[in-house]
Chain A
Amino acid sequence: MKHGASKTHFLQTQVPRQLLAFNILASLAYFLLLAFHFAIGNKYLFAMLLFGEVFHLWQVIGFTLTIWNTECNPKMKSTITDPVAVFITVAGEPVEIVRETAIAAKNMEYPNFDVYLLNDGYVAKKENWQAIEALAKELGIQCVTRKVPGGAKAGNINNGLRETTAPFMVVFDADHVPHKDFLEKTMGYFSDPKMAFVQSPQYYANNDASYVAGGAWEQQELFFGPICKGKNQNSSAFMCGTNMVVRRTAIEEAGGMCEFNIAEDFLTSLFIHEKGWKSVYVPEVLAEGLAPEDFLSYSKQQFRWARGSLEVIFRYNPLFRKGLTFMQKFQYLASASYYLSGVIVLLNALLPLIFFFTGAAPITTSTMALAAAFLPYIILTLYNLQLSSNFTYTFRSLSFSIGSFVIHIQAVLAVLFKQKSSFTVTSKTQLTGNFLYLVTPHLVYIALSLIGITYAITVHGFTPAVVTNAAWALLNCGMFIPFILAASPLKLTPNRETEVTA
């Protein structure tokens, strides 16, 4: 496995609290100056800008409070030996990938467990469903092949629960190869009778396989590093679909894995938490999986996560759920609302374009005053991001987050208009081709920016407002570049480890 050092790097984090406090203060100062001090230009554009900044303030506060303490780990006892059913969910993945996972699962060190291949290949009409059954036979493990479809992955797990009796279940995606000590490092937390589930990182072993995989992993590092660690402060770690151990009674009390949401793990966690159960995130790589290696698979995965999370906000808003603590509500909302950022990115990106073609601006205050308020806030935020992720956060991951705005907006629309979305398993093999059509909005934005800049300079000349708006537009274009490159058929360097400067 390559990049061994980086396997644990993202998990070693703790940002000084003074810096976090300064970050919140700088964000508040910027917001208050913008909202109440700066001269308002066009009131509709100002409302757009302010709406975006309210969201950014919420994100900064959410992130800061989440990572306030990332070293809050519950204690575990290693004496638990209760039976465990290890589920490997399969829905058409290549047999060799499943084989590796199944063998690793069989080799885990724990006195009392059985491995099951939860084979959904038949209901998902995959050609290799029988090969999976043959694999189970070959390896001496059990295979549960569903014949009645429904509920996608959640339905498959629920079926597995019905077919077994063990008080604990482990879920691995077909491509997530567990370490030998997975159960030893997780089962001990269940010494607490209120502990419902234990989640471990979703590490991508193929993060150097492609440019897309690298970017996807770098995004994951921030989430599975400081964010998940911080959620242990108030028992709000949620299930991430794989590499997790769940107590049967807890999930049964919550009605099983939620089959009516595309992000079943997120919503099921919420249902479990509101019944008063606890959860814990183990900051240690205990299984290694595969990231989407191509842009199409990445886009589909992002859409699925976005849609599922947004449904939680629009249909099962944590604020109005009974049984959750205040901080659990806050954490669920903070995580789910991340996917609203697409709308904000679009609003912010539109502001310079509107200025170029109409001359209307949200504020008319000196651009330097805006800079004086904005720069400390953004620099502190970025520095804290870097510190919290132990310097694993990159421009590429930032670009992937910003560039995904179209996917996130599609997810918002899908939720609002109740469009049907099916659960599709993320491809485990790299699809080749030109996916530039997926970044058409980004390319159009760049074209409009260049036309707009030319037009504004022609009409108004090099005024401070024109230059500043041109710089904002170029900033947005620059942010889109790695995302566009990822979609292009270019062969890009998958991963770049920068040498540490003295």
Chain B
Amino acid sequence: MEKLNTFFRSTAFQLLALMVGSALLSYFLFNGQSLRLDEAQSLWQTSRSPVAILSIVAKDVHVPLYHMMLHYWLAFFGTSISTARILSLIFYILTIPAIYLLGKKVYNHKIAMFAAFLTACSPFLTWYGSEARMYSLLTLVAVLNQLAFLSILKDRKQSSWVGYFFSSLLGMFTHYLFFTQLLVQAIYLIVKRRKVRRKTGWTFVGMYSVLAALFLPWVLFVIHLGSASGTRPLLETPTTVNVFNTFAQFFVGFQVDSLNTAVVSLWPLAVLFIFFALQRNQRMSEETQYFMMASFLPIVIVYLFSLAVEPFYLSRYLIFVIPSFYLAISWLFSTYGKPALYLRIGLFVIMLIALIGQGISVRTPIREDYHAASDYLTQVMTGRDVMVVSAPFTIYPIEYYYHGAASMQTLPIWDRVSGTIPAFNAADLPAMVKQINGDHDRTCLLLSYDQGYEKTIFQYYEKHFQQIKHQVFSPDLSVYCYQLRYDPL
């Protein structure tokens, strides 16, 4: 009995419980959900040969590690979306003990366990832990990389160098923005140069050179291919609202606009929490300074780059900062003394409620119910009708679910064999619509992922054809059906 008690109190059991609980919650909340656009792309891309995958992924402005892993995973275990999602779920669940190890290494059991709790109930991480994309892998690799990085600075063990090298390599080929984590580490080393041994510093320089050399062939390959496929969603120039939304999402995930706005508007309370941290002898350790840098600098870098060069600010691209952020929060709470317990419980409960809300609410902003839309189209369309999908790349999830008789087209018209999605030209719209319509009776226009021309297309259809049906399936995913002709053939 005593042994059993000891086991239940052990860290291993606590972590195991968190992992199992989180996995079950993720499975029940998300497994039945529709395939999302990005997932459909992953499935389509990874269904090709490994060589073709490299080319497609490069044109899709991504790096290939996850796609190659998913390719072989699906080859072994089957090609359903559930199977694909399980791979992401595994990476996510492994992140829970990984973040604990990182927290334990740097702080103590309490801080580490709370960070693990936050990870396990994080609506944001759970969402991407249930999506057949590279983001949960990116998070896991980022944690392992930080563990190795801080271990080098703390213990200088040979194994830490090996771990750092391979985690960096994996991270570089998981997502381009992983480079910002390496950049932050380099900045940290420069800022703390007086505390870093000269030999250690030079070893880092050497390692970065080797990593750059190993990445170079991929860069040359991308340059050789020449152009992007245009399958990446249009991103607007970010504002400070995006930045604060990112942090709100790290806490409460994707909530309806009104709730999200309310959460973000509470920012002055963050100042109060910072004030609370003003405690006697409560110094910010070197590692905490690193976590602060790793939490904020990548976001600032991506934000500024998006303002100055090209917009590519998406909160999911920055998912790898979450472990540092949660550890920093966990440390901050540890400075509060007795009230920390209530704050911990409060934050945990809020995040858990947000997680469940995000999972079950039909108004969750990033929900993409292509499944329901396809079922609807199967029901209402016949072989004499034509379906028009815009943006063109949203054809992937529709194709996955739609098994009706109507033919399928995209606007602008996209020949997927040639690869690149053509740029939209409003002047060509009438001709394209005429070509698509042919002698069909009706057309259903499925609009999602506005690429800047959705309104033009919609208005053209509204002006020239009679709308007979309209249905909204999820935020930003609507179907409009029009009568094209009344005369029987």
List residues of chain A with CB under 8 Å of any chain B CB. 6, 9, 218, 366-369, 371-372, 374-375, 378-379, 382-383, 385-386, 391-395, 397-398, 462, 464-465, 467-468, 471-472, 474-475, 478-479, 495-502
Task: Determine the chain A residues whose CB is within 8 A of the CB of B284 once the complex forms.
Answer: 383
Q: Is B282's CB under 8 angstroms from A366's CB? A: no
Task: Determine the chain A residues whose CB is within 8 A of the CB of B337 once the complex forms.
Answer: 496, 498
Q: Is A496's CB under 8 angstroms from B280's CB? A: yes
Q: Is B106's CB under 8 angstroms from A502's CB? A: yes
7 A-B residue pairs with Cβ-Cβ distance under 8 Å, sorted by A, are A6-B280, A369-B239, A382-B274, A382-B278, A391-B281, A474-B268, A475-B271
List residues of chain B with CB under 8 Å of any chain A CB. 106-108, 111, 239-241, 243-244, 258, 261-262, 264-272, 274-285, 288, 331, 334-335, 337
Task: Determine the chain B residues whose CB is within 8 A of the CB of A467 once the complex forms.
Answer: 261-262, 265-266
Contact among A371, A471, A497, A501 for B280, CB-based, below 8 A: A497
A188 to chain B, nearest CB (A): 33
Q: Is A497's CB under 8 angstroms from B108's CB? A: no
Complex-state Cα separation, A497 to B280, whole angstroms? 6
Q: Determine the residue in chain B with the shortest Cβ distance to A393.
A: B278
In the complex where A471-B266, A475-B272, A479-B275 touch, is A366 in contact with B241 (Cβ < 8 A)?
yes
Complex-state Cα separation, A464 to B261, whole angstroms? 6
In the complex where A379-B274, A467-B266 touch, is A498 in contact with B106 (Cβ < 8 A)?
no
Q: Is A394's CB under 8 angstroms from B278's CB? A: yes
Q: Is A471's CB under 8 angstroms from B269's CB? A: yes
Complex-state Cα separation, A415 to B268, whole angstroms? 34
Contact among A386, A464, A497 for B278, CB-based, below 8 A: A386
Task: Determine the chain B residues whose CB is within 8 A of the CB of A471 once the complex forms.
Answer: 265-269
Q: Determine the residue in chain B with the shortest Cβ distance to A464.
A: B265
Q: Is A375's CB under 8 angstroms from B267's CB? A: yes
Complex-state Cα separation, A364 to B191, whole angstroms? 38
Most chain A Cβ neighbours within 10 Å, of B243, B269, B278: B278
Task: Determine the chain A residues whose CB is within 8 A of the CB of B280 once the complex forms.
Answer: 6, 218, 391-392, 394, 495-498
Complex-state Cα separation, A501 to B106, whole angstroms? 10
Q: Is B262's CB under 8 angstroms from A371's CB? A: no
Complex-state Cα separation, A6 to B281, whole angstroms? 9
Task: Determine the chain B residues whose CB is within 8 A of the CB of A395 once the complex forms.
Answer: 275-279
Q: Is B334's CB under 8 angstroms from A468's CB? A: no
Q: Determine the residue in chain A with the shortest Cβ distance to B108.
A: A502
**Given A368-B244, A382-B275, A475-B268; 10 other pairs, CB 8 A cutoff:** A366-B240, A366-B241, A368-B267, A372-B240, A464-B262, A471-B265, A475-B272, A498-B281, A500-B281, A501-B108
Complex-state Cα separation, A375 to B274, whole angstroms? 10
Contact among B111, B269, B281 for A475, CB-based, below 8 A: B269
Task: Determine the chain A residues whose CB is within 8 A of the CB of B278 once the complex forms.
Answer: 382, 385-386, 393-395, 397-398
Task: Determine the chain A residues whose CB is within 8 A of the CB of B277 once the complex forms.
Answer: 395
B112 to chain A, nearest CB (A): 11
Contact among A218, A367, A393 for B265, CB-based, below 8 A: A367
Task: Determine the chain A residues whose CB is within 8 A of the CB of B281 once the complex forms.
Answer: 9, 391-392, 497-500
Q: Is A478's CB under 8 angstroms from B239's CB? A: no
Q: Is A500's CB under 8 angstroms from B265's CB? A: no
Complex-state Cα separation, A497 to B277, whole angstroms? 13
Complex-state Cα separation, A383 to B284, whole angstroms? 9
Most chain A Cβ neighbours within 10 Å, of B265, B279, B280: B280
Q: Is A378's CB under 8 angstroms from B239's CB? A: no
Complex-state Cα separation, A502 to B243, whole angstroms? 31
Complex-state Cα separation, A479 to B271, whole angstroms? 11
A205 to chain B, nearest CB (A): 17
B354 to chain A, nearest CB (A): 16
Most chain A Cβ neighbours within 10 Å, of B265, B268, B279, B284: B268
Task: Determine the chain B residues whose CB is within 8 A of the CB of A382 once the complex forms.
Answer: 274-275, 278
In the complex where A368-B240, A497-B280, A501-B282 touch, is A375 in contact with B270 (Cβ < 8 A)?
yes
Q: Is A472's CB under 8 angstroms from B268's CB? A: yes
B424 to chain A, nearest CB (A): 31
Q: Which 6 A-B pairs have the closest CB atoms?
A: A467-B265, A471-B268, A372-B240, A464-B265, A368-B240, A395-B278
Q: Determine the residue in chain A with the shortest Cβ distance to B335.
A: A498
Complex-state Cα separation, A465 to B267, whole angstroms? 12
Q: Is A498's CB under 8 angstroms from B279's CB? A: yes
Q: Determine the residue in chain B with the shortest Cβ distance to A371.
A: B267
B302 to chain A, nearest CB (A): 15
Q: Is B241's CB under 8 angstroms from A501's CB? A: no
Complex-state Cα separation, A67 to B279, whole angstroms? 21
Complex-state Cα separation, A479 to B276, whole angstroms? 9
Complex-state Cα separation, A367 to B270, whole angstroms? 14
B151 to chain A, nearest CB (A): 14
Task: Determine the chain B residues whose CB is within 8 A of the CB of A472 once the complex forms.
Answer: 268
Q: Determine the residue in chain B with the shortest Cβ distance to A369.
A: B240
Task: Determine the chain B residues whose CB is within 8 A of the CB of A397 once the complex forms.
Answer: 278
Most chain B Cβ neighbours within 10 Å, of A392, A471, A500: A471
A55 to chain B, nearest CB (A): 18
Complex-state Cα separation, A379 to B274, whole angstroms? 8
Q: Determine the residue in chain B with the shortest Cβ distance to A18.
A: B191
Complex-state Cα separation, A371 to B277, whole angstroms? 19
Complex-state Cα separation, A391 to B277, whole angstroms? 11
Task: Determine the chain B residues whose CB is within 8 A of the CB of A391 once the complex forms.
Answer: 280-283
Complex-state Cα separation, A382 to B272, whole angstroms? 12
Complex-state Cα separation, A66 to B107, whole angstroms? 35
B223 to chain A, nearest CB (A): 36
Most chain B Cβ neighbours within 10 Å, of A398, A464, A479: A464
Contact among A372, A386, A462, A497 for B243, CB-based, below 8 A: A372
B5 to chain A, nearest CB (A): 28
Complex-state Cα separation, A379 to B267, whole angstroms? 13
Complex-state Cα separation, A279 to B151, whole angstroms? 50
Task: Determine the chain A residues whose CB is within 8 A of the CB of B288 once the complex forms.
Answer: 501
Contact among A368, A378, A464, A498 for B282, CB-based, below 8 A: A498
Complex-state Cα separation, A465 to B265, whole angstroms? 8
B252 to chain A, nearest CB (A): 14
In the complex where A367-B267, A501-B331 touch, is A398 in contact with B275 (Cβ < 8 A)?
yes
Task: Determine the chain B residues whose CB is within 8 A of the CB of A383 once the complex forms.
Answer: 284
Q: Determine the residue in chain A with the shortest Cβ distance to B244.
A: A368
B75 to chain A, nearest CB (A): 46
B472 to chain A, nearest CB (A): 24
Q: Determine the residue in chain B with the shortest Cβ distance to A399.
A: B275
Most chain B Cβ neighbours within 10 Å, of A379, A397, A495: A379
Q: Determine the residue in chain B with the shortest Cβ distance to A378.
A: B271
Q: Is B272's CB under 8 angstroms from A478's CB? A: yes
Q: Is B279's CB under 8 angstroms from A468's CB? A: no
Q: Determine the residue in chain B with the shortest Cβ distance to A392.
A: B280
Task: Determine the chain B residues whose CB is within 8 A of the CB of A502 once the complex forms.
Answer: 106-108, 285
Task: Determine the chain A residues whose CB is within 8 A of the CB of B261 once the complex forms.
Answer: 462, 464, 467
Contact among B107, B243, B269, B274 for A474, CB-based, below 8 A: B269
B440 to chain A, nearest CB (A): 47
Complex-state Cα separation, A4 to B421, whole angstroms? 73
Q: Determine the residue in chain B with the shortest Cβ distance to A471.
A: B268
Complex-state Cα separation, A371 to B246, whole angstroms? 14
Complex-state Cα separation, A6 to B280, whole angstroms? 10
Complex-state Cα separation, A474 to B261, whole angstroms? 18
Q: Is A462's CB under 8 angstroms from B334's CB? A: no
Task: Determine the chain A residues whose CB is within 8 A of the CB of B275 once the complex forms.
Answer: 382, 395, 398, 478-479
B104 to chain A, nearest CB (A): 11
Q: Is B265's CB under 8 angstroms from A468's CB? A: yes
A224 to chain B, nearest CB (A): 16
Task: Determine the chain B residues whose CB is within 8 A of the CB of A369 once the complex forms.
Answer: 239-240
Complex-state Cα separation, A392 to B278, whole angstroms? 8
Most chain A Cβ neighbours within 10 Å, of B239, B258, B282: B282
Q: Is B239's CB under 8 angstroms from A368's CB? A: yes
